Every structure is written in structure tokens, then in C-alpha cells.
Amino acid sequence: MALRTTDLGVASHKRLVYRNVVAALKAAFDGSYDRERQLAGIKVTQTYPNKELDFPAIVVDYQPQKVVAAGVGHLEIFPDPQGNLRKWKHSRFEGSLALHIYALSTLDRDIIEDAVAELVRFGSLDDQLNRFYEVVYPSDEEMEATKDVEDAYSFGLFDQLMLDSDQLFAVGNSATIAPWSPEDVLVYAGGWTVNLHGGYYNCFPRHDWSLVRRVDIQAFEGTFDSPPVATAAFSWDSEDEGAASGSGYASSEESYTDASP
């Protein structure tokens, strides 16, 4: 099972949505899916298909609507995976998730649409379909099993994703010439839209800068064989892990300049 994380260097809720919804659909329609055998292993992607081999396909398209603070002046304090006590901002987001269906016949389109609707509406009640919700809503046991071994920390705690499975809105059916431009082949499209919301935190640094208290810089003219023509030193006291403040200096034989890191 994939962890519910984004790139830890960027606080992104869009990648959170795509990673988990695409993975959840793939898990549900894997090789063991036998309710409609022709759908086992169906292509699930966020890229629109343009080759005949790409059909049929389910294309995930997330449309964000807003990102807001979890509360007025909201701030949380808890340790990062390295055990450093940090300040965190918690954001909520809302949007709509379109599950587009593309097929080479109206019958195939309708079969896939029904399967997707069944998955979203009733998946939590069926052992075969429940893999979808097991990925979207991992249990405490699953997060425990997928935690980082070194840090004993589950990154799944950072992100929350919730689907409004009570309501499905039809995208609408359409037919267009196939993208490889034949004269007599049509592509049939349909699908569903579901509202979703969730939450996520700001990212944490890739490196533990709390252990660094001073940085020395030397500038050389020509090669490193001669003494440096200028030096600079920066030192700080860390109030919040990942943020630094303090004072420093830069100097050479000709000048002296105050500086800050």
C-alpha cells in the first residue's frame, strides 16, 4: 500500500488527491476483480488517452475550489519525524473529483460507469470493492504497518482525504472522433463527479538544521593554494526547528560588512 503523502519538499494537496484516488481505483480494479471480468486491470490515469491501446480508461481529474486555514490564526505544535518540536499550519481544501470514462462503444462506457458508481457508493460494504476505501481511508493498523522504519513515524498522519460518496453527479455522455483521427471510429465518454474535502500540513525540512549553529564561508581568488581573500561566518539560535535567526559578518583585508543569514 502506498503511503498517503506528497513530495515532502512541497506542501501540495493536489498531488495528495491524485496519488490516492488513482492508487485506490487501481487497487479496486486489479487482476482479481471479477464482477465484470473485462474491467480487471483497466487503465487508470490522470492523462487523457490518445492511442487505441489506451482504451478503455478511467481518467481522474481533480478541480480544486478553495484552500483555507483550519481555523482563525490556527497553529499546531507537535514533533516532526526526527522528533524536533515544530510549529505547523493546517489547511483545509475543497474541490470536485471527476472520474471520466472513455471507451470505444456505448456499452463499454455504460458498464464502466456502473462499476465506478457501485465502487464509490457501495464499496465499503463489499469485500471485493473495499480495497478502494482501504487506500483512501487507511486504518490505524495499516498506517502502523507502513510507517517509516527508521523514524517510527507514519506520514499518513499529515494528510486527510474525504469523499462525499452520498452524491454522484453525472458528467454527461458524449461522442467524438478518436484522437488517432480515423474516419469511422468514435470515442464515447461519460463519468461521474464527486465532491471531496480534506486537510494537509506544511512540509518539513529534508534536513535537520537544528543541529547546525554556525556556517563559515571562504572566498578564494584563483586557486585554493593561496589564503582566502574574504571570509564570512553566520551563526544562529533556533527557536523553531527548520527556521533560523541570528547575526553574522563578512570581511576581507579591504573591508568589513555587517550581514545577516
* Single-letter amino acid, residue 146: T
Confidence (pLDDT) at 260? 44
According to DSSP, the β-strands at 57-69 and 43-45 are parallel
User: Grid coordinates 474525504 are at which residue?
Assistant: 162
Q: What is d(CA 206, CA 219) in angstroms, rounded to the nearest whole number?
A: 27
Low-confidence ranges of the chain (pLDDT < 70): 1-10, 81-82, 140, 142-158, 204-213, 222-224, 236-261
Confidence (pLDDT) at 28? 92
Sign of CA dihedral 131, 117, 164, 5: positive
C-alpha cell at 122: 457501495
Q: Is the pTM of this model over 0.95?
A: no
Look at residues 188, 184, 205 and name the one whose alpha carbon lies nearest to residue 86: 205
Sign of CA dihedral 223, 224, 230, 231: positive
In Å, what is the CA distance from 247 to each residue of 42, 68, 205, 229, 239? 59, 35, 22, 21, 14
Confidence (pLDDT) at 172? 94
Q: What is the DSSP letter of 99?
A: E
Kindly tell me the burial class for residue 223, based on how many C-beta atoms sit within 10 Å of its own C-beta (0-12, 13-18, 19 or more): exposed
Per-residue pLDDT of 135-180, as tens digits, reads 888 776 766 666 655 555 555 666 788 899 999 999 999 999 999 8
